[in-house]
Amino acid sequence: MTDEGTPVSDHYPITPRRVSFDWEETPLHWIPDEPTATHVINVLHLLLPAGERWFVKVFKEGLPLVRDPELLKDVKGFMGQEATHSVQHSYVLDHLAAQDLDTGAYTKHVDYLFRKILGETPPLGVPIPEPEWLRFRLSVIAAIEQFTAVLGDWVLAAEGLDRAGADEVMLDLLRWHGAEEVEHRAVAFDMYQHCGGEGLPRYARRVAGMAVTAPVMLYMWAWGAAYLIRHDPRLAGRLRYSLGEHNRAVRKGLLPTWKELGSAVPRYLRRSYHPSQEGSMRRAIEYLAQSPAARTAAGAIGRAAIG
């Protein structure tokens, strides 16, 4: 691997899985008696439907630039997985709405962020050339995927959620998604490296992508958790999001530590870094082999093939 983060030879095929989940029995506080931990994780459902649709859209713009057949196959597999993630998390928003927790006032801002601020053309008519704007957005996706790989690996090993009696269907959604994030952990980075130019400008743009992504994600997450707790009909205003409650959930193993999240940034900024170093592919593959939703999806494909 070179100092510019050239992909390593280790390769794993990226396969979309057409999963589905039944939310009928999942309670609003799917981690019993832990509304703060529940809603901090629920922010995923607020951000991902619009965010992952945006990933797919930007990658479609970049497909004509991909000259490597293996990368092209991986990118198409990534796009298929991300499209499924977007759909499944949007169903959770419907489930929250059915329990009188309407997220529309928050998600309209998320939609605006991805549709307008990070859309096909730079916001406010900023004169950025089209190829450069595409490269920047690819760098943002690569930076976001650094965090999703970290979160995916965390949730696969988060025994605290099992000890707390978290809802099995929600755990399967999170762990199936997390396993696929680890599975395709390097694709967005490789796509950026392939399309992002050469030498120091490519690295500088990678740094810029993370410099924008990390603070925006932190802000959106805190805002989203505060919104969900404030509008939770079961809490009726009796609780507010606080760092103290958040850290209490971290100590119980219900949320990742700040160190786990924060250390992802300096790793990513190393010139020699490649996401194949992130997380446990073995753990991800093992979970995908046992995930109820993934097994059902695989069985349906098998039956269709036989039929």
> What amino acid is encoded at 130 in this protein?
E
Residue 184 in 3-state DSSP? coil
Six token digits for residue 289: 């082999």
- Sign of the Cα torsion 11, 89, 171, 217 reads positive
CB 36 within 8 A of CB 239: yes
Nearest residue to 178 via CA among 299, 53, 278, 298: 278
Pull the structure tokens for residue 214.
């990390």
* Angle subtended at Cα 83 by Cα 102 and Cα 111, rounded to the nearest 5 degrees: 40
User: Quick one: pLDDT at residue 283?
Assistant: 96
| Helix axes 168-183 and 281-290, enclosed angle (nearest 10) | 140
Instruction: Give CA–CA dist 82/191, Å, rounded.
Output: 15
Are the C-beta atoms of residues 78 and 85 closer than 8 Å to each other? no
First to last CA, the chain: 45
> Computed from CA positions of residues 264, 16, 61, 103, in that sequence, does the dihedral angle turn out positive or negative?
negative
As a whole number of angstroms, the distance between CA 246 and CA 196 comes to: 37
CA distance 242 to 45: 20
Integer Cα distance of 139 and 211 in angstroms:
10
Q: What is the pLDDT along the chain (307 residues), one digit of tens a residue?
A: 333 444 443 567 898 999 999 999 999 999 999 999 999 999 999 999 999 999 999 999 999 999 999 999 999 999 999 999 999 999 999 999 999 999 999 999 999 999 999 999 999 889 999 999 999 999 999 999 999 999 999 999 999 999 999 999 999 999 999 999 999 999 999 999 999 988 999 999 999 999 999 999 999 999 999 999 999 999 998 999 999 999 999 999 999 999 999 999 999 999 999 999 899 999 999 999 999 999 998 765 554 444 5
- Find out whether 89 and 45 touch, Cβ atoms under 8 Å: yes
Q: Are 13 and 281 in contact (CB under 8 A)?
A: no
Radius of gyration of the chain (CA): 19
pLDDT digits (tens, 9 = 90+) for 158-189: 999 999 999 999 999 999 999 999 999 999 99
Residue 224 CA to residue 46 CA, distance in Å, equals 7
Chain-centre distance for alpha carbon 114? 14
Per-residue pLDDT, 10: 53
Contact (CB, 8 A) for 183 and 280: no
* C-alpha to C-alpha distance for 203 and 49, rounded to whole angstroms: 29
**What's the pLDDT at 277?**
87
